Amino acid sequence: MQASNSNSAPIYRVRVAVPVYLHDCFDYSLSAEQYQQAEAGARVAVSFGRQHLVGVIMEKLAPDAPLDPSIKLKAITELLDERAILSPKVLTLVTWAAQYYQFPIGEVVHSALPALLRQGKPYNLLARMWKLLDDNAEAKVKRSERQQEAYKILKLHPSGTSENILNLAGVETATLKALEKKEICTCVLETQDFSPMPVSLAQMPLTANEEQKHAINSIVKTRGKYQAFLLDGLTGSGKTEVYLQVMQEVLKQGKQVLVLVPEIGLTPQTVSRFQSRFHCNIALLHSGLNDSKRLQAWQAAETGKASIVLGTRSAILTPMPNLGLIILDEEHDLSFKQQEGFRYHARDVALYRGHLEQCPVILGSATPSIDSYALVQHGKMRVLELNQRAGAALMPKIHLLDLKIAKKQHGISESLLEEMKKRLEKKEQVLVFLNRRGYAPVLICESCAWQAKCPHCDANFTVHRTPYQHLHCHHCGTIHRMPEHCPQCAHKELKPLGMGTAKVEEHLNELFPDFDVIRVDRDSTSRVGSWQKIYDKIQQSEPAILLGTQMLAKGHHFPYVTLVAILDIDSGLLSVDFRATERTAQLVVQVAGRAGRGERKGDVYLQTLRPDHPLLNTLVKEDYRQFAKQTLKERQAAMMPPFRYAALIRCESKEQQLNTDFLQHHAQLLRQSAELNVDIWGPIPAPMERKAGRYQSHMALLSPDRARLHFYIRNWWQNMLHSKPSSMKLTLDIDPQELS
Ligand code: ADP
Ligand code: ZN
Ligand code: ZN
């Protein structure tokens, strides 16, 4: 195209990513003065159709760049930032991610910004500073331990300190407000100071063992360039110590470190390990923050004030001017993959970011994902192993209990109950794991076999007994009254079948009346603070039975647990998904890792109907690495991910036929794209065909050639989005975690 405006006045333009469900950026004009000030990475207010939106400048166009005369250029409403708040590297990162995951760029850019900035609020908010008014107030706080603690900390900072820092130190805002009421302290608003804080060591590092030394040296040597490492070490083998010592070297160079942990792993215990090692500013980014706290933490990262940024999945998009190291702890954890909207995997984004920033990336786990082992196999990542448990702790022994021949009481084998009793009598703790909350997964009529089903889903209702008797659908949230008799045959005996944590709790209380049973699941911890209370109780050396779901499996340290029982391993093994055994093995090893972390050796018991399951046996008789090796071979033989690249199209509407016809038509179109080496699976109805009253179908695409697959999908997918009926919901999942 010719520049048609060569002899008229220059037109100043910027290309803006606007948060709408469209894949392109949009050009806006602005005044010469605004243009001069504008930087790529700054926010602008724009109108889009009838909406007023906050966009981000992705590019400043040259004034003499060709102009499409058919497009009526709108002017921006306002330039919101006088400088770039998303760095060029983050702009490159989000542009890549939008392309790779085929998700609208404006939406991706928005996920890199904290809520207040997305809403167009000014960058410079005021910080809340707390200062002591009365430094002789011991008597006034005598009656509250929390207030005493807060008072003590405030006294250490006579010139005042920010609410953020106080919160990090464990002082709650409510406590500060209570002290303010008593006129002991006051809160003032100050403009924030973003100058970097000096870093120093707060605590001497431990003396690393040989394996740790090797790991630390290998990583430190690659500083300043990109290299991915898989730190493959048993639970308790000192991975965190390796992170800390590598961080020390990176921080010493004045660089920042980004640490990502699973959603459930960002506990006060994790934070305090970093805090007690380094004196420096640590920014915490997780979903529990309110908007202004989140903004402040993000700003500390973005300005370079924070030397360490500790966050969950979405923190991977945070701008950091001096990023020198990225760590992903528990890299196998599912929470690193976003399962809705912008479906990215933080692990893959982290690897790409390390490459952009030219810094090392460490993925750590006791049960690395098969995906990561494949990267090692392909030479894209270096593996560093830690094989000894640090300190005195021994690895627990795993035993299989054959449920077909075992004598049972309420679904628990008698020999297991016997072992539990022995441990409890020795004042040790026992952990019982069952990944099913509620009382029972099925309500059945004893006479005609009718089962209580959710009217909106293809699923059984779960029976709950607390806080009152009811039926609950765990898929759509529907709640029903408990029927008094069978609606089909009027029989009065309706029986809860199978076990949920609430039912097991009832039985354990009956079987072990002298011991505490502590249940940990979403139902028992839904009240704020209740999880902390349970946690404190677990840390006391009283004999007790800890009973729970998933929530108990992750990273926590339970020093008094010496026996772990997994009541139902089979539901994981029977699942149709190709990653089901991988997930089950990870879960077993992670749950087992809770046993014997103290001085005493631990035992793990698995109840199963399939004691001959080959992969389960590899795991039990050998170890996770051997299991992983075998799984890698199987995946390669079957040409399943990560040996082929996948994309999954999910389709949801009011009629199954509509889904099938639509997907089939588009599958046909894709098949016609010449020379594409791709398998198309489906379309087929999802395992749960009807959910919340809507029908689900999907279709999977697999190819050994990722670049070609993505290239061919691009236009095809756009075409699908444009031609779908408006009542249909379509999503594209690149590198899906499940194919069913
Ligand atoms: P992981 O992160 O692999 O689960 P941790 O780093 O938490 O392991 O280490 C487990 C325990 O061993 C911690 O209490 C830690 O302080 C201790 N530890 C780690 N490395 C050493 C070492 N080199 N010498 C002594 N104790 C260590
Ligand atoms: Zn009946
Ligand atoms: Zn339902």
- pLDDT of residue 527 exceeding 70, the answer is no
For residues 154 and 87, membership in a common domain is answered with no
pLDDT of residue 2: 44
For residues 403 and 546, membership in a common domain is answered with yes
For residues 361 and 431, membership in a common domain is answered with no
593 C-alpha vs ligand 1 centroid, how far in Å?
13
Question: Does ligand 1 have an atom closer than 6 angstroms to the CB of 387?
Answer: no
- pLDDT of residue 364 exceeding 80, the answer is yes
Question: Does ligand 1 have an atom closer than 6 angstroms to the CB of 277?
Answer: no
Helix ranges, 8-162 (H): 32-37, 88-100, 105-111, 115-118, 145-155
pLDDT of residue 373: 97
Does residue 109 sit in helix, strand or coil? Answer: helix
pLDDT of residue 303: 93
For residues 296 and 376, membership in a common domain is answered with yes
Alpha carbon 520 to chain centroid distance?
Answer: 20
For residues 343 and 242, membership in a common domain is answered with yes
262 C-alpha vs ligand 2 centroid, how far in Å?
45
Task: Report the nearest-CA residue for atom 9 of ligand 1.
Answer: 238
Identify whether 253 is part of a domain. Answer: yes
Question: Does ligand 1 have an atom closer than 6 angstroms to the CB of 19?
Answer: no
390 C-alpha vs ligand 1 centroid, how far in Å?
5
Atom of ligand 1 nearest to the CA of 233: 3
Identify whether 446 is part of a domain. Answer: no
For residues 30 and 177, membership in a common domain is answered with no
- pLDDT of residue 99 exceeding 80, the answer is yes
For residues 237 and 301, membership in a common domain is answered with yes
pLDDT band, residue 8 (cuts 50/70/90): low
Using the 3D structure, point to which of 348, 367, 386 is the last residue of a domain: 386
Identify whether 72 is part of a domain. Answer: yes
- pLDDT of residue 571 exceeding 90, the answer is no
Identify whether 478 is part of a domain. Answer: no
For residues 137 and 113, membership in a common domain is answered with no
Residue range of the domain that includes 656:
645-734
Q: What does the alpha-carbon distance between residue 247 and residue 89 come to, in Å, rounded to a whole number?
A: 22
For residues 590 and 680, membership in a common domain is answered with no
- pLDDT of residue 6 exceeding 70, the answer is no
Of the listed ranges 543-552, 572-581, 689-698, the least confidently predicted one is 572-581
| Structure tokens, 562 | 């010496």
- pLDDT of residue 410 exceeding 70, the answer is yes
Terminal-residue alpha carbon distance, the chain: 47
Question: Does ligand 1 have an atom closer than 6 angstroms to the CB of 562?
Answer: no
pLDDT digits (tens, 9 = 90+) for 691-728: 999 999 999 999 999 998 998 899 899 999 999 999 99
| Structure tokens, 110 | 């928005």
| Structure tokens, 648 | 């999954």
| Structure tokens, 304 | 């370079």
Question: Does ligand 1 have an atom closer than 6 angstroms to the CB of 568?
Answer: no
Query: Which ligand has its closest atom nearest to the C-alpha of 478?
Result: 3
486 assigned to a ligand binding site: yes
Q: At what angle do helices 580-592 and 614-621 cross, to 10 degrees?
A: 30
Cis peptide bond prior to 196, omega within 30° of 0: no
Query: Which ligand has its closest atom nearest to the C-alpha of 477?
Result: 3
Sign, CA torsion 269/300/104/349: negative
Best residue for ligand 1 mutational test, from 212, 241, 261 (most atoms within 8 Å of Cβ): 241
Q: What does the alpha-carbon distance between residue 340 and residue 343 come to, in Å, rounded to a whole number?
A: 6
Identify whether 488 is part of a domain. Answer: no
Q: What does the alpha-carbon distance between residue 561 and residue 102 come to, in Å, rounded to a whole number?
A: 46
For the chain, what percent of residues have pLDDT higher than 90?
59
Question: Does ligand 1 have an atom closer than 6 angstroms to the CB of 208?
Answer: yes
454 assigned to a ligand binding site: yes
Using the 3D structure, point to which of 142, 171, 190 is the last residue of a domain: 190
CATH code: domain of residue 521: 3.40.50.300
Q: What does the alpha-carbon distance between residue 376 and residue 488 come to, in Å, rounded to a whole number?
A: 57
Of the listed ranges 12-16, 150-154, 200-204, the least confidently predicted one is 200-204
Residue 13 pairs in a beta bridge with: 29, 61
- Is the model more confident about 241 or about 682? 241
- Is the model more confident about 524 or about 353? 353
Chain-wide mean pLDDT for the chain? 89
Do 651 and 698 touch, CB atoms closer than 8 A?
yes
Identify whether 50 is part of a domain. Answer: yes
- pLDDT of residue 290 exceeding 50, the answer is yes
Do 620 and 608 touch, CB atoms closer than 8 A?
no
Do 673 and 712 touch, CB atoms closer than 8 A?
yes
457 assigned to a ligand binding site: yes
CA dihedral 400, 406, 408, 411 (to 10 degrees): 50
- pLDDT of residue 101 exceeding 80, the answer is yes
Q: What's the mean pLDDT in 87-98?
A: 97
pLDDT digits (tens, 9 = 90+) for 608-629: 988 888 888 898 888 899 999 9
For residues 212 and 361, membership in a common domain is answered with yes
Helix ranges, 133-261 (H): 145-155, 163-168, 173-181, 210-221, 239-252
594 C-alpha vs ligand 1 centroid, how far in Å?
14
pLDDT band, residue 3 (cuts 50/70/90): very low
pLDDT digits (tens, 9 = 90+) for 248-281: 999 999 999 999 999 877 777 788 889 899 999 9
Question: Does ligand 1 have an atom closer than 6 angstroms to the CB of 209?
Answer: yes
Name residue 193's amino acid: D
Considering only CA atoms, which of 338, 374, 262, 370 is closest in space to residue 733? 338
Show Cβ contacts of residue 233 under 8 Å, excluding neighbours closer than 6 positions: 211, 239, 242, 364, 366, 385, 386, 387
Question: Does ligand 1 have an atom closer than 6 angstroms to the CB of 240?
Answer: yes
25 assigned to a ligand binding site: no
Q: What is the bridge-based pairing of β-strands 323-329 and 43-48?
A: unpaired
Cis peptide bond prior to 467, omega within 30° of 0: yes
Q: What's the mean pLDDT in 73-95?
A: 95
For residues 159 and 233, membership in a common domain is answered with no
For residues 542 and 402, membership in a common domain is answered with yes
Using the 3D structure, point to which of 190, 216, 234 is the last residue of a domain: 190
Question: Does ligand 1 have an atom closer than 6 angstroms to the CB of 235?
Answer: yes
pLDDT of residue 92: 98
Q: What's the mean pLDDT in 64-76?
A: 85
Number of neighbouring beta carbons within 10 Å of residue 730? 18
Atom of ligand 1 nearest to the CA of 593: 4
Atom of ligand 1 nearest to the CA of 209: 23
Question: Does ligand 1 have an atom closer than 6 angstroms to the CB of 233?
Answer: yes
Name the domain count of the chain.
5
Identify whether 480 is part of a domain. Answer: no
Atom of ligand 1 nearest to the CA of 208: 23
Task: Report the nearest-CA residue for atom 15 of ligand 1.
Answer: 238
Q: What does the alpha-carbon distance between residue 325 and residue 245 come to, in Å, rounded to a whole number?
A: 12
651 assigned to a ligand binding site: no
Considering only CA atoms, which of 615, 551, 605 is closest in space to residue 408? 605
Residue 296 pairs in a beta bridge with: none
pLDDT band, residue 221 (cuts 50/70/90): very high
Considering only CA atoms, which of 122, 115, 12 is closest in space to residue 73? 12
Q: What does the alpha-carbon distance between residue 215 and residue 247 come to, in Å, rounded to a whole number?
A: 13
- Is the model more confident about 30 or about 572? 30
457 C-alpha vs ligand 2 centroid, how far in Å?
21
Number of neighbouring beta carbons within 10 Å of residue 651? 25
Q: What does the alpha-carbon distance between residue 197 and residue 162 come to, in Å, rounded to a whole number?
A: 14
Question: Does ligand 1 have an atom closer than 6 angstroms to the CB of 238?
Answer: yes
- pLDDT of residue 5 exceeding 60, the answer is no
Best residue for ligand 1 mutational test, from 212, 240, 327, 362 (most atoms within 8 Å of Cβ): 240
Q: What does the alpha-carbon distance between residue 125 and residue 69 come to, in Å, rounded to a whole number?
A: 41
Identify whether 477 is part of a domain. Answer: no
465 C-alpha vs ligand 3 centroid, how far in Å?
18
CA distances from 487 to 388, 428, 447, 450, 492 (A): 59, 47, 12, 8, 10
pLDDT of residue 530: 67
pLDDT digits (tens, 9 = 90+) for 374-403: 999 999 999 999 988 766 566 788 899 998
For the chain, what percent of residues have pLDDT higher than 70?
95
Do 425 and 542 touch, CB atoms closer than 8 A?
no
CATH code: domain of residue 109: 3.40.1440.60
Question: Does ligand 1 have an atom closer than 6 angstroms to the CB of 281?
Answer: no
Question: Does ligand 1 have an atom closer than 6 angstroms to the CB of 549?
Answer: no
Do 46 and 53 touch, CB atoms closer than 8 A?
yes
Q: What does the alpha-carbon distance between residue 724 and residue 729 come to, in Å, rounded to a whole number?
A: 8
The enclosing H or E element of 42 equals: none
